[in-house]
Structures are given as structure tokens and as C-alpha cells.
Structure 1
Amino acid sequence: MTDEEFLAAFEACTLPPELWTHTAHVRAAFLLAREGTWVEALQAIRSRIQAYNAATNTPEAIDRGYHETITQAFMRLVYAANLRTGPHATFEAFCLQHPELLEKGALRTYYSRERLMTWEAKRDFFAPDLCPLPLVDIPRDL
């Protein structure tokens, strides 16, 4: 599936649930990150994951469903990586430069399990407790 086909299926909520893996989340983040500003990319990934989860009846549990802190943290990692080494023409090219982001445990460098796996961190963004996330271009007026 090409990047364009993947993004279209994700946005239309027709991507089969078995294909909505960690790698697919990173792919969606990368494709949205290269389309706009940090704020636009973050808003897009939030709304599209939430729409996809609703369309596929994804249950809400501490380890399933939408998680604000995980979403923001991974989007920040992907967005910053793309700024640092991009632009990348494809997700495959991005992955060659950043294979560490394909690891589900990539956030362990930044967050303890105790901080990340709470209902509060699921609902609202929590800053990391182990190491700061990379900076991205965030407008001062926000």
C-alpha cells in the first residue's frame, strides 16, 4: 500500500483494524507531519485517530483507545525527526533514518510507566518525567 493509499484509508476510516499497528500510527504521524505546521499536524493526528477509533468501535481502556500523552509525544518525536533529517519522500525513507521510532517502547526514554499509564495522562498531555522531548517549532501565540 502506498503512503497515499494508506493515508486515504486511514482518513476514510476504512483501514482494516488489524493493520492499525504501532507502525501504522507512526506512518500516519509522519504523513501528517510533512503536510503542515506542528500545530496542524498535532490537531490532524488527534482528530483522525479519534475518528478512526470511533468508526472501528475501539474500546477505551488504560492500554487501548485514544491516549493524549502518547499521541502528542510520538507526534513530537516524529515531527522533530522529520525536521532534523527530512524532508523524506516516503515513510520507508523516513524509517531508514529513524528505526527507533518503530519500537513500541520508544517512549521509555522519556516516560516512566507510572507516569504514562494513568487515566490522567490518557486524557491530558503530561510532560515526560525522565528526559525532555525534542523541541519543535511552536508559535509563541499559542
Structure 2
Amino acid sequence: MYYRDEAAIERIASGVIDRTLPRSEWTHAGHFAAALWLCRHRRDLTEASAIRRLICRYNEATGTANTDTGGYHHTITLASMRGAADHLASHPENAPLHVVHSTLMASRFGDPNWLFAYWSRECLFSVPARQDWIEPDIAPLPF
């Protein structure tokens, strides 16, 4: 299990929102912890423009530049948010988020390379995919 309880998941999301989460905790698991918490508690921050603003501001606060080659990546973010929302919807409404997160990380989403089943490396890491949503070029997303 990545996080022991609901408070640990909330701490990750709150740290991104208020820009206090240490950069070392903004891991693959941390991204999905924040995504799940936002999907359940702050749907207003899951809209494309809101999540872009949130993550860009967090990146800037932690010394990560948002450029054509680093920092915020719109296609990866939106695909991950959609995957997190779909996974969350497959659980009861009152399922503890740390349990939902553990099952998510045990699924295909736990592999940081899960996106390559849908996008080629060239497409996913292109400047247009970093800046805007680009549809998958290998297979449609299943959710």
C-alpha cells in the first residue's frame, strides 16, 4: 500500500493545491493520489484549464519550469485524470481513497508506461501533446 490512510492522500492533494508538497513526493503514485482526491473532493479543479493552472503553479513553486520539453504535460495529465476518474467510479462512493489508490496502482496505471499502449512515444512527447490534448495514435482510451 502506497498511503496508509485517507489523510495521507489528502496531504498529497492539499500540498499540490497550496504548493507545499515537497517535489520528491510528486511521484507517479503521488500524481494519482492527487488525481483521485481531486476527483472525489474538488471536481472544480479537474477541468482541463483548472488542472493545467494548478499543476503549472505547483511546478513553478517547486522550481520546475513549464516548457516545451519539461514540466506540465497536458495530454498525460488529462489521460491520467480520466483514468483516475474511471477507476474511482468503479468503486463504491464511500470506498477509502487509500484503498482505491492501492487498487489503481496495482492496475495498468501503476506502470508509468501505461500510456504507450495508446500513444506512440513520438506523439506523446511532441510539443503539441505537451501543450494541448492530442488523441491517442495507437488505440483509443478504454474510458
Please classify the TM superposition score into its range, dividing by the shorter chain length.
Answer: 0.7 to 0.9
Q: CA deviation at 1:59?
A: 2.4
> 1:133: how far off?
1.6
**TM superposition shift of 1:109:** 1.4
Give yes or no for contact 2:68–2:131 (8 Å, CA) kept in 1.
Answer: no
Aligned to 1:56: 62
> How do 1:59-138 residues align onto structure 2 when only pairs under 5 Å count?
59-60=65-66, 64-87=70-93, 89-98=95-104, 99=106, 100-135=108-143
Report SS of the residue matched to 1:114. helix
Question: Contact (CA 8 Å) 1:68, 1:123: kept in 2 or not?
Answer: yes
Aligned to 1:46: 52
| 1:24-83 CA distance string (max 9 Å, x none) | 11111111111355x752344322211101111202455530001001111111111111
Distance 1:48 1:40, change over 3 A: closer
CA contact (8 A) 1:85 1:97 kept: no
Q: CA deviation at 1:103?
A: 1.6
* Counterparts of 2:59 and 2:117, CA distance in 1: 27
TM-score by length of 1: 0.81
Question: Which amino acid in the other structure matches residue 18 of structure 1?
Answer: S
The C-alpha deviation readout for 1:88-134, integer Å capped at 9, x for no partner, is: 63332113332221221111111111110101110110011122123
Q: Counterpart of 2:38?
A: 32
Q: Is the 8 A contact 1:76 1:133 kept in 2?
A: no
Gaps of 5+ in 1: 136-142
4+ long deviations beyond 6 Å: none
* Alignment RMSD (CA, Å): 2.2
Sort the Cα spacing of 1:13 and 1:134 in 2 relative to 1 into closer, same or farther, 3 A. same
**Whole-angstrom distance in 2 between the partners of 1:40 and 1:52:** 13
Give me the TM-score of the superposition, normalised by structure 2. 0.81
